[in-house]
Amino acid sequence: MNIGEIASRAGVSRSTVSYALSGKRSVSDATRKRIQDVIDELGYRPNAAARALKEGRTRTIGLVIPPASRRLTHMQLGFVASVVEAAARADLDVLLSPSGGDHDRSFERLLSGGRVDGVILMEIRLEDSRVRRLQNAKLPFVGIGHTARAHEMCWIDVDYATVINQCVHHLADLGHTRIALVNRSVELMAAGYGPGHRARDGFTAALAQRGIQGIDLECGDDAAAGLVCATRLLREHPDVTAIATINEAALPGIQRGLEEAGLNVPGDFSITGVVGRTWAEEFRPPLTAADVPAQDIGTQAMDLLLERIADPTTPFRNILLAPPVSLRGSTGPVRAT
């Protein structure tokens, strides 16, 4: 069932049906009604591929998420949810591509001719070949995260350096002088994952500013790894009294590790995190954390993308967010010994 079928049943030409639907030219009320009746009766829906072919756009955007094997953090989930919601508001569909590596077939297809009108890229590494390939494909795209060369693309990102810097200052203000940074996984760090490296930079800078010492740890992205990491930290560095982390997924495990070691939070030990807003409250005790407005970030990424799709020649815009640290129950003054 195609537009020709509708046209012949309504006794008009195909172009008239098209104009009746799009309203781009005038069609008499009588004709329009006749056409609409036929359409309603047959349940006709215009073929999306044909329309996309002719119009040269698909009204679909691609969203590149971390590979399915890796569980999304709450923050990433917030990004995905808000991008999807923003796309729905703009009457756009979202094509999901779970791909991290270079030669991911799903990513290949995204690049392929006219599959999507634009792409939002998540979990970007400092050196990320996907960026170059999107540029080569001349596909408008926006990053949630950015590469080492900030100027080469349009992005929105959390300022992990500043955020971790603030966390360390907060802990130092409370008297902590031995602080550990629990970073993302060894693999991600080795792959040059931006937030991890920027967090490390912010951590090192803050330590220097306060003249205190820190332990820099990498930790797998799940609760089990967090438990192992916390346990080892307490054993190998018993003088550490606080953790700052950007590793959301490890947090429950870190907490469990502290608990199993008989440490009370915040009485004996302090933790700060960087987590999606609304999630910090779900910890016990509620987590002192930089509350990342994941909803806003997804929405703004979508806005940036729409802008680029509308006019691909606009200069790249970069948005860096450094949400302040919200004080909750997981940090306190260092215990008097």
Partner DNA sequence: GCTGATAGTCGAACCGATTCGGTAGACGGT
Partner DNA sequence: ACCGTCTACCGAATCGGTTCGACTATCAGC
Residues 249 to 278 in contact with its own copies, rule: CB under 8 A: 252-253, 255-256, 259
Q: What are φ and ψ of residue 155, in 5° steps?
A: -155, 165
Choose which of 38, 40, 41, 54 interacts with DNA (CB under 7 A).
Answer: 54
Query: CA 313, 307, 76: angle at the middle one, nearest 5?
Result: 120
Choose which of 10, 17, 111, 225 interacts with its own copies (CB under 8 A).
Answer: 111
* Min separation Cβ 73 and its own copies, Å: 11
Choose which of 106, 177, 204, 231 interacts with its own copies (CB under 8 A).
Answer: 106
Choose which of 41, 42, 47, 68 interacts with DNA (CB under 7 A).
Answer: 47
d(CA 148, CA 145): 10
Q: Any contact of residue 8 with DNA (CB under 7 A)?
A: no
Q: Which stretch binds its own copies (CB under 8 A): 12-20, 98-106, 156-164, 208-216?
A: 98-106
Residues 6 or more apart from 183 whose CB is under 8 A from it? 189, 196, 199, 200, 216, 217, 218, 219, 245, 246, 247
Decide: 228 and 253 in contact? Cβ < 8 Å. Answer: yes
d(CA 246, CA 213): 19
Choose which of 21, 95, 191, 205 interacts with its own copies (CB under 8 A).
Answer: 95
Q: Any contact of residue 88 with its own copies (CB under 8 A)?
A: yes
* Min separation Cβ 47 and its own copies, Å: 4
Label the pairing between strands 93-98 and 60-65.
parallel
* Min separation Cβ 39 and DNA, Å: 10
Decide: 171 and 212 in contact? Cβ < 8 Å. Answer: no
Q: Any contact of residue 53 with its own copies (CB under 8 A)?
A: yes
Decide: 285 and 329 in contact? Cβ < 8 Å. Answer: yes
Q: Which stretch binds its own copies (CB under 8 A): 18-26, 85-93, 152-160, 206-214?
A: 85-93
Choose which of 21, 34, 36, 60 interacts with its own copies (CB under 8 A).
Answer: 60
Give the interface with DNA as residue ranges (CB under 7 A): 1-4, 11-16, 18-19, 21-22, 24-32, 44-47, 50-51, 53-56, 113
